[in-house]
Amino acid sequence: MLRSGWITTGPEVEAFEREFASSVGVPFAVALNSGTAALHLGLEALGVGPNDEVITSTLTFTATAEVAEYLGARARLVDVEPGTLNLSPELVREVIEREYRWRGQAWVHGETGGTLRAIVPVHFAGHPADLPGFIALGREYGVSILDDAAHAFPAAIEGRAIGNFGCPTAFSFYATKTITTGEGGMLVTDSPAIERRVRLMALHGISRDAWKRYSAQGTWYYEVVEAGYKYNLTDIAAALGRVQLRRAAAMLRRRTAIAERYGKELASLPYLEVPRPRPGVGHAWHLYPIQLRLERLRIDRARFIELLRERNIGVSVHFIPLHRHPFYARKYAYRPEQFPVAEAAYPRLVSLPIYSRMTDADVGSVVAAVKDVLEQAGRCARVGKRLLDVALAAGLLVLALPVLGVAALAIRLTEGSPVVFRQQRIGRGGRRFLIVKLRTMRAAPGPPVTVGGDPRVTRLGRSLRAAKVDELPQLWNVLRGDMSLVGPRPE
C-alpha cells in the first residue's frame, strides 16, 4: 500500500469495506476514522436532531452518549441488568412507560418535551445484549435502534453475527479493540438510504466519491450538498484492518481460551465473581471484567489494582458510569440511586488482561498474582470477620436469653415438645450443617417450603415469626461458625 503512493482514502478502504460487510453478512459498510464517528453518523442518518432524546446505557464509554449531544439531542442514561451489565429491553420499556407519553406520532418526555428518537444498546465487554429484544421493542414503540458494537466483533447470538440484525451497527477499531486499525471504525447497514447518507456526511457532504477526484476515474468537479464532516478512514489504516480481519477468527479463539482458563482457575475464589456468558451467545471477549467481593476483603479496588501492578500485572476499570461524570450529572441532575445495579457493580469492577498475543505463561502470571493478592487480603479479613461474629453473637445471645426462655416455655405449654426445630442447610463451600430455630409449626403433611397462610403454622408460631423471635437461636449457629451475621448466610 505504501509503495502504491495512495495513502489516504482509496482502494484499500473500498476493499476493507467489502470484506468487513461480507464477514458480518450485510450488503453495506462505510469505513470511518473512529467508532465515535460511526455512532455519530448513524444517529444523524436516523434523523436524530435538536430536542430529540436517545436512550443508552450508563455503563459505557462516553462516546456512546456524547454523539447525541453533538446533534443537539439529549442522552437519556438507563441502568443495566445484573450479570451481563448490559442495557435490557425490559429496563428500557420501564423507562419509556414511566417517563414518556404518546403524543401525535411520537413518544415525548413528560418533563423536557423531547421526542424519543433512538435507543443505543451496548454489548458490554463483548457479551451480546438482547438485540432481538431491542429490535422488537423499537418496532413496538416506533423508535430506531442504533447498535453500539464497539466491543462486539466478532460476537453473535445463536450463530447470527452482531451487525446482521437489521439495524445500523457501529464498530470500533481503536488500539485496544478485538481488531485494530490504530484508530478507526465502521458503520454497517442493510439500508441503501442509510449507507448513502453516512457516506455523504463522512467526507464534507460532497455529492460524489470525493477521493476519486484524484484518481484516473475521477473528475475535478464536485458539489457540497450538506455540511458534512471529516470522518474518512485512510488506506494506511484500512490495510492494517484487512490483515486484522483475516486473523479475527484465530484471535477470537485465543481470547476465548484465555477467558475459559480465567474462569476455570478463578471461579472458585470466594473473593470475586467471574463473567458467565449466557447460553446461545458468542462472546467477543473484548474485556474480561471480574467483580471483587469487597465485603470479604480488607482492601478496596484501588489497592487491589496497585498490588497487581506491583506484580507487573496491568489491569483497568471499565467503566466509570456516565451518570457519575460531571458533564452528565450537571446537565441532567442524575443521582446514584437511579442506577442501583451500575452503582453496585462499579466499585467492584476490574478488567483483567485479555488479548490474543498473551502466552500461557502470561495467563498463568495473571492468575497467580490475582490469587496471591486476594488470598493475602482475604485471610486477615476472615479472621477479623470471625472475631466480630463471635463477639457480637455472644453478646446478642446473652441479651436474647430472657426472650428465648419465655418463648420456649410458651411453646412447651401450648404445643408440647420439641421446643427447638433443626433442619439441614448448605453453608459456605457447600458444607452441610443443622440450623437451629424455635419451633413454630405442628407436624403435618405439607410442602417442604412454608407458604403464606400455611395451616401448619401455629397461632403462637405466627406471632414468633412476625417478631423474628424464632430466628434468635441462629446466633448459636453464628457462634459455631456455621453462619455469619453478615452474608453469605441462609435466609
Catalytic residues: 177
Of 201, 189, 186, the residue nearest 34 (C-alpha): 186
∠ Cα 152 153 154 (to 5°): 115
Q: Is 77 helix (H, G, I), strand (E, B) or coil?
A: strand
Place of cell 479472621: 383
Alpha carbons within 13 angstroms on the beta-carbon side of residue 57 total 33
Spatial separation of the C-alpha atoms in residues 88 and 82, rounded to whole Å:
10
In this structure, are residues 477 and 433 in contact, taking their beta carbons and an 8 Å threshold? yes
Amino acid at site 464: L
Q: Is 119 helix (H, G, I), strand (E, B) or coil?
A: strand
- Give the three cell numbers for residue 406: 419465655
| Element at 484 (helix H, strand E) | none
In this structure, are residues 26 and 182 in contact, taking their beta carbons and an 8 Å threshold? no
- Give the three cell numbers for residue 436: 437451629
Alpha carbons within 13 angstroms on the beta-carbon side of residue 228 total 23
End-to-end CA distance of the chain: 66
Of 321, 348, 349, the residue nearest 335 (C-alpha): 321
Give me the helix-helix angle, 360-415 and 459-467, nearest 10°.
140
Residue ranges of the alpha helices (H) in 63-191? 63-70, 89-99, 131-141
Spatial separation of the C-alpha atoms in residues 71 and 60, rounded to whole Å:
19
Place of cell 437489521: 166
Cβ burial, residue 175 (10 Å; 0-12/13-18/19+): exposed
In this structure, are residues 60 and 36 in contact, taking their beta carbons and an 8 Å threshold? no
- Give the three cell numbers for residue 166: 437489521
Distance of CA 267 to the CA centre of its chain: 18
